[in-house]
Amino acid sequence: MSELLKDKSTIVLGLANRWSIAYAIAKAFRREGAKLILTYQGERQQDAVEELAAELGAARLLSCDVTQETDLAHLSEILRGEGDRIDAVVHSIAFANKEDLSRPFVETSREGFLLAHEISTYSLIGVSRAVAPVMTEGGSIMTLSYLGAVRVLPNYNVMGVAKAGLEASVRYLASDLGPKNIRVNAISAGPIKTASARGIKDFSKILDRVTESTPLRRPCDPEEVADTAVFLASDLGRGITGNVIYVDSGYQIMGF
């Protein structure tokens, strides 16, 4: 079969390590012939991410802390300066303070709420604004969400509220950017053992429960999420925008 992302330039934000969903997506994008630009959060991750970027055959690696307006402006400047067209962008970034993911939701502090929303939700809007001008032939923007956006799940708390805002942002961005043939979607993934999930209390219990009750009787793996990202980035996804696609072994449909 021919490569689905041949001649496409892509940006993947949110690569921290080999377990990151962003890593699986970057790998699948390369497999399908895409040119890859990767961004990472900051100096603390630089060495590790440089190694991964080389291994993935990335064309560029940029530092981009989404809380820094200057970093986003810099990203936008670099993209415009190089006259590089961008075809697809993956936003795979989330953060909340650890204590907000364990104490009762009603205890969420103003600071914790704002931080989670700044990093996990607002950043999609900032990134979209930075890349839209260089998506000169249309494009595909996607982000990663979780079922906690629409259902109450233990401890997900402020992240659930941030993901609800993220999914609503996907719809408003899709409406705004649709006339430029830029599509915006979310992939709602089932639980995957990444750095962002590892520290979560009872995570293995959650995985066991998912395995028992999903139609497919297995947890989802990052490669399945990545293949859906390939589809959304490719011309095969050209009719889909403003959507949340569940890649969760079917867990979301179950009522028992």
Residue 101 binding partner per list ligand IMJ, ligand NAD, none, with a CB distance cut-off of 5 to 8 Å that depends on partner kind = ligand IMJ
| Active site annotation includes 156 | yes
Contact 93, 73 (CB under 8 A): no
Choose, by CB under 6 A, the member of 191, 219, 222, 237 that binds ligand IMJ.
191
Which residue of the set 23, 40, 122, 156 is catalytic?
156
Q: Could you tell me the two tokens for 192?
A: 């995957």
- Contacting ligand IMJ within 73-132 (CB under 6 A): 94-96, 98, 101
Nearer to ligand NAD, 9 or 196 (CB): 196
Which residue of the set 23, 40, 146, 251 is catalytic?
146
| Residue 246 in contact with ligand IMJ, rule: CB under 6 A | no
**Region of 27-35, 38-46, 124-132, 194-202 interacting with ligand IMJ (CB under 6 A):** 194-202
| Residue 216 in contact with ligand IMJ, rule: CB under 6 A | no
Per DSSP, the residues of the chain read ---TTTT-EEEEE---STTSHHHHHHHHHHHTT-EEEEEES-HHHHHHHHHHHHHHT-SEEEE--TT-HHHHHHHHHHHHHTT----EEEE------GGGGTS-GGG--HHHHHHHHIIIIIHHHHHHHHHGGG-BTBEEEEEEE-GGGTS--TTTHHHHHHHHHHHHHHHHHHHHHGGGTEEEEEEEEPP--SHHHHTSTTHHHHHHHHHHHSTTSS---HHHHHHHHHHHHSGGGTT--S-EEEESTTGGG---
- Contacting ligand IMJ within 143-162 (CB under 6 A): 146, 153, 155-156, 159
Residue 21 binding partner per list ligand NAD, ligand IMJ, none, with a CB distance cut-off of 5 to 8 Å that depends on partner kind = ligand NAD
Q: Which residues bind ligand NAD (CB under 6 A)?
A: 14-16, 20-22, 41, 65-67, 92-95, 119, 144-146, 189, 191-192, 194-197
Residue 79 binding partner per list ligand IMJ, ligand NAD, none, with a CB distance cut-off of 5 to 8 Å that depends on partner kind = none
Catalytically active residues, by annotation: 146, 156
Sites of contact with ligand IMJ (CB under 6 A): 94-96, 98, 101, 146, 153, 155-156, 159, 191, 196-197, 199-200, 206
